[in-house]
Structure 1
Amino acid sequence: MTRLEEYLEMVESAQQKGFAGEDIEFLYFDNAASNQFDGYSGVNRAIKSAQGQYLIFCHQDLLFKYDDREHLEQCLEQLNQLDSNWAVAANAGRTTVGQHFVRISDPHGESINEGPFPQEVMSVDENFFIINQRVNNASTATMKGFHLYALDLCQNAKYLGLKSYVIDFHLFHKSGGKVDQGYFDIQRCYTEVQRERKAGQWFFPMCSVFFVGSSRLLNWWLNIKRVRKFLNKKQ
């Protein structure tokens, strides 16, 4: 939260759409004076602090102008029927081949509806996303900034065997998004994080030694002799 009045406007719009009562809590990070939290640390702090089953993480310049709580619950029930172990759900995202799936009104257009929904994606937009607290997930602790933290969350979920989706929940976002030099600085940092994760590596558990890399052939070639040697000893 950097502008209290705008944040309160968002809260009021949510309450008018049924997000009110004892089973709803509103939490915010006060960055009005200075940045106490960024996207990555904010997500991790929210995961620890929130008490609910579902954690909605959204921008302050969002308005719950169209769909209400009942509709969101229906979307989540539909998603639970499809995949009970989903990790992240949002109103916009892209697949592994770059295809957009979006349900939003913003400066780019009124009532944008690019479905069908729910749709599995590899990344989601930060304007509005839901974290399923029934599964374990978190942001990368070494990353900092206000871009790509939703992508990071989705990819971390993937490493845990979990999936992310876009659902049919219509909101109004005052901003169309911003890409600046800071965005590309964070993209560079995230590229390095992923490069290290994808680098080939020898693993040393207590009972074996094996190699894992991006090439199946290389994995087989470097590991087959060790496996055969072990099996011969067992005979």
Structure 2
Amino acid sequence: MKLIDSNIEKSTFFQFFTLVTRFDEYQEMVKSAKNAGFQDSAFYYFDNKNINDFDAFSGINHAIKLCTSKYLIFCHQDILFNFDTKDHLLQKIEELETIDPSWAVIGNAGRTRKGQPIIKITDPHGEEQTQGPLPSEVMSVDENFMIINMKNNLSATTTLKGFHLYGLDLCQNAEYLGLKSYVIDFHLLHKSKGNIDQSFFNSRKEYIQLQQRRKKLKWFFTTCTRFCVTSSVLWNAILNNKVILKLLTSLLRRQK
């Protein structure tokens, strides 16, 4: 892991950690963050330009070990702070503290336990997308921008690997500790609309296998997928059939 500048000793509130494959794009993100008021924050990056020494799960856990600030920001290299500022973010965190001081993870997009999207973002899907109310408790957050409250003993699952569903994993691990995750009113630009490739489906399969060892039945919703997990391999295959999954999700959302 490398530090992009020498402001680490001044980082009281925020330290940034990012997996980097394109250093020019990462530098653009850092510049936009500093222009938005994060001049006194430290910016760490994992150098994955040539080889993936860290995946998302190991990267988050390594970042948590190193972080000395109040809040850890784990974000993509392709975001830009073109709208809201650091002061705005601190204000929204302070508001959340009055509502729920036990929060563990914050994002700018996510899904509730019933699959409802909660969003405040500009990306290729649309400008200034807002679905709330904000803040709202969610079961998962999108990985483009995540804030971890360092007062809690939180980590990603060490047996999982890859670059997908680590936001869901982190939020669910928080839930197991009796903590909560939220999407707040913090607007930034994410250049990517997401990448659902074979590695994504591999990660989803691994996460289902993890969860089927933990519980009998639970729904999982993220910004880009939905699935149901039971302790049975057969029922997992049946319930996650596209047609059945669509029907069950519709019925779930109708429940009060």
TM over 0.5: yes
Q: Secondary structure at the match of 1:73?
A: helix
**Structure 1 residue 86 corresponds to structure 2 residue 93:** no
Alignment partners' CA distance in 1, 2:26 and 2:190: 13
Where does residue 238 of structure 2 map in the other structure? none
Q: How do 1:47-196 and structure 2 match up within 5 A?
A: 47-196=64-213
Please say which of residues 163-172 and 49-58 is displaced more in the overlay.
49-58
Q: CA deviation at 1:136?
A: 1.1
Structure 1 residue 51: deviation in Å? 1.2
Partners of 1:49 and 1:199 lie apart in 2 by 36
Distance 1:52 1:26 in 2: 12
- Give 1:112's aligned amino acid: Q
**Which structure is larger by alpha-carbon Rg, 1 or 2?**
1
- Work out whether 1:3 is the aligned partner of 2:15: no
Partner of 1:203: none
* Secondary structure, aligned partner of 1:97: coil
CA distance in 1, matches of 2:205, 2:23: 32
CA shift for structure 1 position 195 = 0.8
* Distance of 2:72 and 2:105 partners within structure 1: 10
Q: Which amino acid aligns with 2:183?
A: V
Displaced runs of 4 or more, over 6 A: none
1:21-60 alignment runs, 5 A limit: 21=40, 24-60=41-77
- Point out where structure 1 has 5 or more consecutive residues left out of the alignment: 201-213, 215-235
Shift of 1:50: 1.4
Hey, what's the Cα distance between the residues in 2 that align with 1:34 and 1:79? 39
**Partners of 1:158 and 1:141 in 2: CA distance:** 17
TM-score by length of 1: 0.83
Shift in Å, 1:46:
0.6
CA distance in 1, matches of 2:31, 2:158: 32
Counterpart of 1:113 in 2: which secondary structure?
Answer: strand
Alignment of 1:191-210 (within 5 A): 191-198=208-215
Structure 1 equivalent of residue 244 of structure 2: none
**Match for 2:69: what amino acid?**
G
Tell me how large the CA RMSD over aligned residues is: 1.4
Q: Structure 1 CA distance, aligned partners of 2:79 and 2:216?
A: 39
TM value normalised by structure 2: 0.76
Residue 13 of structure 1 pairs with residue 15 of structure 2: no
Secondary structure of 2:39's counterpart equals coil
2:48 match: secondary structure: coil
Cα offset, 1:197, TM superposition: 1.4
Number of residue-to-residue matches in the alignment = 200
Structure 1 position 199, deviation (Å): 5.8
SS at 2:45's partner residue? coil
